[in-house]
Structure 1
Amino acid sequence: MPRILSVGGALALLFSMVVPAAAPSYCSTSGWGGNCDVTNTGTSVDIGASHNTPGRGGGDNRGDRDDDIRPPSDGGSGTAPECTGLCRGNYEVELIREVTLTDLASFAPAAPPLTGQPAGVAIVGMPANFVVAASTHTVTGELFDLPVSVRFTPASYLLVHGDGTAREASTGGQTWEALGQAQFSATATSHAYGSRGTFTAHAAVRYSAAVDFGNGWAPVPGVLELSTGGYAVDVLEVRTALVERTCVEDPGGPGC
């Protein structure tokens, strides 16, 4: 609310300004003057922001000079009477209300694929190698036309084999070739099925997240869990037999 004071015969208008509260540490850069709220939903990072525009003086009568303020015309000589105390004229001072804008941006990690070796096939009692291709990556966006980045880092993996078993892993695994291992070798992400059948495996990747508003990375509490799609595995049984010729020599022979 504006107040009118008489100071040495002059009139002064005093305005009370609304100053936004200091933003949390997530938005403490010079470009971010609003308040931000970073929420981990378990599958995405939601960043909500509010920005306050303080009220300000308006109208034609700004009160910055004595001769800008005129009492209403009463049909007299047009000369303003001497002001010996507090003078009130029929003028108005308008205030623009504080405006609050809100915005929301949601950031989710990329869905990781799940593959296996041999491709789509496993042998009873022998390791099948699973690989989850998840990696650290950054997703960018904007709030109030200002840049914001969210970085997702794989923290752990849960491999669900589809036969009622599962295992935790600290890595998404690598192919036998990348590991320099022979086919059907055991790895940190391999699994040996105990019976024949078709099973659908999947994996869940747990990500940690950090957010950057331009002044460095700040961690987001909690983890986000994202599941891969299903991966079908046909588990076969291998039997050996003594034969006279190889399958190349006799394509119609037993087991060929």
Structure 2
Amino acid sequence: MPAWADSSCTDLERATTGCPNISVGNDGHEVTIGGEVDQPGTGGGPGSSSGADPVPDPMPPLTVDRPGYTVTIPVTLSDLARFRPNPGTDHMQPDGWMIVGLSTNFYARAAQHVKTGALLGEPASVRFTPVRYAWTYGDGSSRTASTPGSTWDALGVHEFDATATSHIYRNPGRYLIDLTIGYAPEYRLASGSEWIPVAGLVWVPANRLVAVAAAGAKTVLVEDECTVNPFGPGC
């Protein structure tokens, strides 16, 4: 594990339940499940190429009422390590192949969801909202976006049109495409109480796509005749 990352487990957890495969940055502003966080100051998460994100505000405290006194504890991302977000899914158009020189459309599917459990010894709920999407396209290129993208039909564009999350491959071959989704966490101690945001993102990898880039459109089989679907692949 790099010097700038630390385990999310406490000494008690190491001695009892063991540690999950989670890394937390020293500044407490990023956590990655199933991988490593970016080094502080390198940008907005896995695959980022858009510069550093602004430094989040200080994390809000957790106030716990005990008989005769109140305990206030700062909540960090490492405190949420046991609340694991659901992984999203990565999709592409065309499905499983692309044409060199034309746009391949990638889009993610991820939804806001709530996990329940114990937070610092208290019953709590944690809500995860997907807000960042980091693609590595397998050819040395990457992109981090605030939009999950969508299908060509949903966007109202033609097949092979460029989109906010599309990518153009310049050489034929076989490519591995990975997506990591950044979730913004919030917590609350009782149902009906206000959600309190925790600074930083929890990054969770999605499924890996494997696709083959063809040298040109003439090598691709078409689903419909071009007279029926003039904007179809290969037409």
Alignment of 1:23-172 (within 5 A): 25-28=61-64, 38-41=75-78, 45-46=80-81, 106-142=82-118, 147-172=123-148
Counterpart Cα distance in 1 of 2:196 and 2:217: 57
Counterpart Cα distance in 2 of 1:143 and 1:40: 11
Counterpart Cα distance in 2 of 1:37 and 1:239: 57
Look up the match of 2:151: 175
Counterpart Cα distance in 2 of 1:39 and 1:146: 15
CA deviation after TM superposition for structure 1 residue 236, in Å: 0.5
Q: What SS class does the counterpart of residue 150 from structure 2 fall into?
A: coil
Counterpart Cα distance in 1 of 2:131 and 2:66: 32
TM superposition score normalised by structure 1 = 0.55
CA deviation after TM superposition for structure 1 residue 221, in Å: 2.1
Look up the match of 1:81: none
- The total of aligned residue pairs comes to 160
Alignment of 1:179-198 (within 5 A): 179-198=155-174
Q: What SS class does the counterpart of residue 199 from structure 2 fall into?
A: strand
CA deviation after TM superposition for structure 1 residue 184, in Å: 0.8
Q: What SS class does the counterpart of residue 101 from structure 2 fall into?
A: coil
Look up the match of 1:83: none
Q: What SS class does the counterpart of residue 209 from structure 1 fall into?
A: strand
Look up the match of 1:222: 200
Q: What SS class does the counterpart of residue 86 from structure 2 fall into?
A: coil
Counterpart Cα distance in 1 of 2:145 and 2:85: 19
Q: Between Structure 1 and Structure 2, whose CA radius of gyration is higher?
A: 1
Runs of at least 5 residues in structure 2 that lack an aligned partner in the other structure = 1-59, 220-224, 226-233
Percent identity of equivalent pairs: 34
Q: Retained in 2: the 8 A contact 1:27–1:213? A: no
Q: Retained in 2: the 8 A contact 1:209–1:220? A: yes
Counterpart Cα distance in 2 of 1:162 and 1:204: 14
The change in CA–CA distance for 1:113 and 1:240 in structure 2 (over 3 A counts) is: closer
In the alignment, does 2:187 pair up with 1:211? yes
Q: Retained in 2: the 8 A contact 1:29–1:213? A: no
Structural RMSD (CA): 3.1
Counterpart Cα distance in 2 of 1:202 and 1:235: 16
Structure 2 residue identity aligned to 1:27: T
Q: Deviations over 1:9-56 (max 9, x none)?
A: xxxxxxxxxxxxxxx942346899666563313xx824xxxxxxxxxx
Tell me which of the two structures has the higher relative contact order, counting C-alpha pairs closer than 8 angstroms and 6 or more residues apart: 2
Q: What SS class does the counterpart of residue 189 from structure 1 fall into?
A: coil
TM superposition score normalised by structure 2 = 0.59
Structure 1 residue identity aligned to 2:90: L
